[in-house]
Amino acid sequence: MPDDVQLNFSPGSLVTLNIILAVMMFGVSLSLSPQDFKRIVKSPQAPLIGLAAQFLLLPFLTYLLTLVLQPHPSLALGMILVSACPGGTFSNIITFMARGNLAVSVSMTAVASVLAVVMTPFNFAFYAWLNPVTSKVMNEIRLDPWHMVGLVFAVVGVPLVAGMFCGQRFPAIRDRSETIMRRVSLVVFLGFVGLAFSRNWDLFVQHAGGLAVLVIVHNLMALGLGNRLATLCRQPEVDRRAITLEIGIQNSGLGLTLLFTFMPQLGGAILITAFWGVWHLVSGLLIAGYWGCRPISVLETTSDVG
C-alpha cells in the first residue's frame, strides 16, 4: 500500500464532526435509563461475559491477528482502533430483529459506552504501541492518549448522561423522537462513512480486495468470539444471540471521529474503520434474518433479565 493520504480538516470542520457525533449519541441515549445499568447488578453474568469479550479479549485477539496477517501498519491501526471501540447502538435494533435478549444488549451498550471513555483510548494506545510495526507509526504521530480520553468523554460520555436525563425527564419527547433520532443517526453515520471513502477513493479502489478480506475476517472473529464465549459460559440461546451481535457490531462512528481528529494522515486506518461500519451492518442483518426465522423456545427465554 502506498503512503497514506493526508485529510485536511480545518479546526472548524473537526469541531463540527465532533458535535455531530455528540448529537447522535445524545439521540440514541434518550431511550436508556438507570434500569439498564441496574440489570447488570441484578443479573450480571451475560452482560459481564459480553463486556469481557468487548474490552479484554477482542482487542487482544485483534492484536494477535495483526501479527499473523501483517497488514500495512495503517490498516493494522484501523483494526486495533475498531476493536477498542464499544459496541454500536445499532446492535440493539439488530438484536431485537434476531429475537435475542434485548435487555442484555441494551445494558451492555449502556455500560460499554461509559467504560469506553477510558478503555477505548487505553486499549488502542496499549496494543498500537505493543505491535512493533504500528509502534513506529505511533512514534511519528506522537498521540497523547489523554487527549483521546478527553474527546471520547466529550462526544460519548457527556451526551450519554444528558440523553438519559432528558429521556427520563421528558418521556413524551423521548417517545416521539426515538425513532427519528435512530434514523438520523444512521444517516449521519453513513455520512461519516461516505466522507471517509470520498477522501480516500483512489486508495480504496487500489486495495478494495485486501480491505474487504481484512474487515470480513476481523468481523467474523468478533462475532465468533462473542458466540463461542457465551456458549462456553453456558448462556441460553437468547443471551448468546445478544452477546454475539454486541461484540460483532462496533461503534465505527466513534472510531472515525478519533481518526479524523488525531490521525487524519492514516488513510488506510480510516478506510478499514469505514468499511467495518458498512460490513458489520450487512453481517448483522444477515445473522438477524437467519436467527429471526428460528424462534427460541419458552424455556430458553427464562433467563431474560429484562
Query: For 62-71, 212-221, 243-252, 286-295, which range has the lowest pLDDT when averaged over its residues?
Result: 286-295
Gap between the Cα atoms of 46 and 23, Å rounded: 30
State residue 246's pLDDT score.
Answer: 92
- The pLDDT tens digits for 208-267 are 677 889 999 999 999 999 999 999 999 999 999 999 999 999 988 888 888 888 888 888
Do residues 59 and 123 touch, judged by C-beta distance below 8 A?
A: yes
Gap between the Cα atoms of 136 and 304, Å rounded: 47
The rounded percent of the chain whose pLDDT value lies above 70 is 79
Number of Cβ within a 10 Å radius of residue 205: 9
Gap between the Cα atoms of 69 and 130, Å rounded: 16
More confident residue, 68 or 39: 68
pLDDT of 48 higher than 50: yes
Closest-CA residue to 274 (of 255, 249, 287):
255
Tell me the one-letter amino acid at 162. Answer: A
Q: What ranges in 30-157 are assigned the alpha helix state H?
A: 34-42, 45-52, 58-69, 73-84, 90-97, 102-130, 132-141, 145-152
Mean pLDDT (the chain) is 81
Provide the residue count of the chain. Answer: 306
State residue 125's pLDDT score.
Answer: 92
pLDDT of 182 higher than 70: no
Number of Cβ within a 10 Å radius of residue 178: 15
119: left (phi over 0), alpha (psi -120 to 50) or beta: alpha
Q: What φ, ψ does residue 4 adopt, rounded to 5°?
A: -70, 160
pLDDT of 305 higher than 60: no
Do residues 268 and 191 touch, judged by C-beta distance below 8 A?
A: no
Do residues 277 and 85 touch, judged by C-beta distance below 8 A?
A: no
All structural domains of the chain, each given as residue ranges with its CATH number in brackets, are: 11-291 (1.20.1530.20)
pLDDT of 306 higher than 70: no
- The pLDDT tens digits for 76-96 are 999 999 999 998 777 877 888
pLDDT of 64 higher than 80: yes
State residue 303's pLDDT score.
Answer: 42
Query: For 47-56, 139-148, 283-292, which range has the lowest pLDDT when averaged over its residues?
Result: 139-148
The secondary element (H helix, E strand) that includes residue 301 is none
- The pLDDT tens digits for 10-27 are 555 567 777 777 777 777
Predicted TM-score (pTM) above 0.85: no
State residue 24's pLDDT score.
Answer: 73
Between the CA of residue 174 and those of 103, 106, 163, what are the distances in Å? 18, 16, 9
State residue 178's pLDDT score.
Answer: 62
Between the CA of residue 142 and those of 125, 137, 165, 187, 268, what are the distances in Å? 11, 9, 37, 33, 18
